[in-house]
Structure 1
Amino acid sequence: MAKSYSCVLCNKTHLTVNNRRTIINEKLRDYLARTLKRNVENETICLKCRAQVYRDMKTVMNSQQIRQGIATCQSNDEDDPDFLAEETLPSELISPKSIQLNLSSTSKSHRRCTLCQKNSSNRHRQVVVPHEARTQAFIEKCIVIPTNSRCCPNHLLGNYFTQESFKDTREEDYQRLTGLTRNQFEAVANTVTDLRKSEIRSVKTCLAILLVKLRTGLSNSILAILFSLEIHQIQRTTHAARSSLMKSFVPSFFGFQHMSHDKFTRDLTTPTARTLFADNQQDTEILVLDGTYIYLQKSPHHHFQKQTYSMHKGRSLVKPMVIVATDGYIPNVLGPYYADGHNNDASIIKHAFKTNADEINTWMHEDDVMVVDRGFRDAEEFLKKNEFQS
């Protein structure tokens, strides 16, 4: 691959042979070294910058000669007591040709909104971002918005952006990061009432950190970068969010006790399932049970690794027992259980009824139907003894 030459001043790349010169001249090299505060030996300069530097050098040399002449005149006039010397002007300050600022900038587009990236259409027309709004974005967020950029009208209040427009997250980003829609996220955040708001994070930020970690599996160090927090703050935040959800959200929306047996039978049992499995009996509950897998990384703890390694799958995992209504609603998940040979579907369901996991014996009634696969065949007699149909 041919070598690429770039100008030492303007950083212009891919200079041709006719448009570049190697810095060999000693005066030119010394002048650029003093200006750029670094060694420029054997570097390249374009012809345009080279001509400009020579003009600047000539101006500096002329100003130095003028100052030397003034100094000579002043030394000759020092003997004259009636002579009043004028104040000497400060030496000329030479600034670099260009200064690079690390500022973020949005793309200039007439099709997409600058903030939410929504496409413009006949039903959803966009407006030009006012000058006041562009100035507001630069002052508050250090973001440069090009002239004639477009945005949605609902982002503006007069000629300025609303504060919510800077904080809005797209619907697709909600689902990618948290697995929830915007409305679902807002609903969960409203139910979390005991989560304390602090100076470094809000309630929604605290909840978002936990959901993003569960959704993506990112480490605390990466989450700290994304949310502009320290690692120990991420650790405390995830612990506080989990404790708050377990205290205020989970008991109201998950588990056998959050819904009565009658409501479950009336609202969550489909007519087809009632016809096939319950002979159209309105008070019979129909549940679908099956074990699933949650895969884990290999643990350095030998005993835990043995308990979580599945010979069937050849990987480390744990087994939750998922209980589903016939319309797809999940009232509860039991477990998780270890993946070794002691825990198959039959042994897990036996353990749940023997230990009365989450008050399952109280919640279920006689003649309720459980739809299972052949993995529960060893528990068929046990379920019949408890007067359940399978």
Structure 2
Amino acid sequence: MDVTRRCINCSVRLAHQRWRMVEDATEPMVNILRVWISPTPVSHLNRVCTACWLAARRNVQKQMRQDANRPIEAFNEETDNREPTHIPVPPPLPHISFPQRQETARIISQTYSRVAATSRHCIFSGCENVERLLVPTGVKEMLLCRYRLYIPSSARVCRYHLENDCWEQLQSNIRDFTASQMDHMLNMMERINLRTLDFNNINMMPPNLCQYWLGVTAAQFPELLAEIPSLHNEVPSASVALSIYLAKLRTGDSNERLSSLFEMPRSTLERNMNKARNCMSQQMVPLHLGLNHMTVEEVAARNKTIPEGLFGNPNPSSEMRPAIVICDATYVYVQSSSNYLFQKESYSLHKHLNLVKPFMIVCCDGHILDCLGPYRATVNDATIMSNEFRNSNGEMRRYFREGDVFILDRGFRDVIPELIEYGYQAHMPESLSEGEHQLTTQQANKSRCVTMCRWVVEVVNGRLKRDFKLFRQEFFNKAAKHLMIDFRNGCALTNKLHPLIEDIPEAAEYLAIAFLDDIFNEFSFENE
């Protein structure tokens, strides 16, 4: 106990009271104090509380009044016999050495940076807004993963910058970290790593994993979600439901495996998947697929240089620029069925497998105009197209104009005269004449010109099966009832997300070769 911080007489603590030093007292007061605390010696460093100080002074005044009433001789005798007052000098205090405060160790990072660890201003430099809010944990984790920028716990952000989502503008050159900041940053990374696949917050997923599982980027995902607003009213988490359906299209994995990936029961996963499928089919697909999502003039505007030069209107200023489309049927394989009729109509003698046929109508730049079907495996391409164009009041006849161009393969040879009768132009590779073993030069060159334009539909079919593994494996019979819904959804996603096919730099050169000596206008290529 430090006696210098207590009253020498009553030992009361002097932290919150008034006090006086003994060295400030008069000699009579010191004598009074010495009597009170005897045999404890009195030091000039001792302290006295105000109450004891006043009591000692009153005692001195009382003695002075008593001495004034006593005879002078007695007072002198008493004074002569009194020992001189002597206040002992206390020994010197020991030397106390306080430890020097060491500077906090700093860690310099070459990769990560941080903002200033202060709550006095916004983390955006130059911001003078008075309002300062805590930075949400999700934002801190996003900045750490995406921009390698650490936000200390004491940092603050104004409401304007928090709500405007302009985090790419946040810059900082501070690269030194304290040990506690480094520990906090590592703990944050550990938490992020434990929930790498957070489908509730796609922005927090690594870009490669987002593309791998969903087939879209983190920037494209909110755009898709915005086009199916009804999904928010159908499921608890629209982001998770859409992720489930995209992962199903992308990977083709079984529902059991997807349920373990999304950490939910299979029944819940299937319910979310069905809701997402239906909402996408009803709201997003009409915006990106079908004859109603673009006019025939917009189709004509998508003509590329080579198809336009070979089969289109040679006058580019003509108002009747023909629309050029490429048609083909593709395959989606299904399981063998115990239903005899379905098994008979879905079995292909050409592929020796069970399948159905979606029918594709594609623009010259790879944009899918429409996807029809599914059709039976026993129906050929010519029959499919004939059925679609037979009705004069049907959608196809009302949509396409006279003079529009259809680029086809040899499977459509039986429908070519019918299309020409309707006023359309139809081009396909030439076939061998009866008894011939080789195409003539004229036929071969004409076939090459058709092939130079028809490859686009093959590329589009390849994209669908490359990006959506679900379509390149056998569909279960139970899932076959929504096969075409899935396929049209995949076509709409391809139209929305995939870049279009551009003209090659050599397009004009190819046209110049084709029209050399006006050889293509009449398809009269002479044998050499």
Q: TM-score range by the shorter chain?
A: 0.5 to 0.7
Deviation of 1:126 (Å): 12
Q: How far apart in 2 are the matches of 1:166 and 1:185?
A: 8
Aligned partner of residue 182 in structure 1, secondary structure: coil
Are 2:277 and 1:242 aligned? yes
Work out whether 1:302 is the aligned partner of 2:340: yes
Among candidates 189, 206, 227, match of residue 170 of structure 1: 206
Amino acid at match of 1:241: A
Any conservation in 1 of the 2:311–2:405 contact (CA below 8 Å)?
yes
CA 1:188–1:173 in 2, change beyond 3 Å: closer, same or farther? same
Taking the TM superposition and a 5 Å limit, the aligned residue runs for 1:287-326 are 287-326=325-364
Summarize the Cα distance change of 1:358–1:259 in structure 2 as closer, same or farther, 3 Å threshold: farther
2:11 aligns with none
Where does 1:207-286 land on structure 2 (aligned, <5 Å)? 207-266=242-301, 268-281=302-315, 282=318, 283-286=321-324
CA distance in 1, matches of 2:396, 2:307: 21
1:179 aligns with 2:215: yes
Aligned-partner Cα distance in 1 for 2:400–2:202: 50
Contact 2:334 2:354 in 1 (8 A): yes
Contact 2:202 2:210 in 1 (8 A): no
Q: CA deviation at 1:331?
A: 1.4
Cα distance change, pair 240–260 in 1 and its aligned pair in 2 (3 A): same
User: Which residue identity does 1:307 align to in structure 2?
Assistant: E
Q: Residue type of the partner of 2:237?
A: S
Alignment of 1:1-390 (within 5 A): 130-136=182-188, 143=194, 168-196=204-232, 201-266=236-301, 268-281=302-315, 282=318, 283-340=321-378, 343-354=379-390, 359-390=395-426
- Cα offset for 1:383? 0.8
Pair 1:135–1:216, CA change in 2 (3 A):
closer
Give 3-state SS (helix, strand or coil) of 1:317's partner: strand
The residue number in structure 2 matching 1:32 is none
Structure 1 residues 185 and 165: CA distance shift in structure 2, 3 A: closer
Larger RCO (CA within 8 A; separation ≥ 6)? 2
The answer to whether the Cα contact below 8 Å between 1:308 and 1:318 also exists between their aligned partners in 2 is yes
Equivalent position amino acid for 1:371 in 2: I
Report the Cα distance in structure 2 between the residues aligned to 1:280 and 1:204, rounded to whole angstroms: 49
Secondary structure at the residue paired with 2:273?
helix
The secondary structure found in structure 1 opposite 2:314 is coil
| Conserved? CA contact 1:192–1:249, under 8 Å | yes
* Cα distance between partner residues in 1 of 2:247 and 2:363: 28
Tell me how far apart the structure 2 counterparts of residues 183 and 357 of structure 1 sit (CA, whole Å).
Answer: 43
Taking the aligned partners of 2:185 and 2:339, their CA distance within structure 1 comes to 56
Do the aligned residues in 2 keep the contact of 1:255 with 1:358 (CA within 8 Å)? no
Q: Could you tell me the TM-score, scaled by structure 2's length? A: 0.43
Partner amino acid for 2:314?
Answer: N
Quote the Cα distance in structure 1 between the aligned partners of 2:182 and 2:217.
31
Unpaired segments ≥5 residues, structure 1: 1-109, 145-163
Post-superposition offset of 1:111: 9.2
> Matched residue of 1:181: which SS?
coil
Label 1:237 to 1:355 Cα distance change in 2 as closer, same or farther (>3 A).
Answer: farther
Separation in structure 1 between the aligned mates of residue 240 and residue 393 of structure 2, nearest angstrom: 33
| Larger Rg, first or second structure (1 or 2) | 2
Q: Do 1:296 and 1:316's aligned partners in 2 also have CA atoms closer than 8 Å?
A: yes
Name the SS of the counterpart of 2:368 in structure 1: coil
Aligned length: 255
Aligned-partner residue type, residue 389 of structure 1: Q
Structure 2: tracts of 5 or more residues without a match: 1-109, 113-140, 149-172, 427-528
Contact persistence 2:241–2:273 (CA under 8 A): yes
Q: Give the fraction of aligned pairs with identical amino acids, expressed as a percent.
A: 30
Q: Give the Å deviation of 1:321.
A: 1.2
The 3 A distance-change label for structure 1 pair 357 and 234 is farther
Q: What RMSD, in angstroms, separates the aligned Cα atoms of the two structures? A: 3.6
Cα distance in 1 between the residues matched to 2:174 and 2:348: 56
**Separation of aligned partners in 2, 1:307 and 1:126:** 70
TM-score, normalization: structure 1? Answer: 0.57
Question: Secondary structure in 2 aligned to 1:130?
Answer: helix
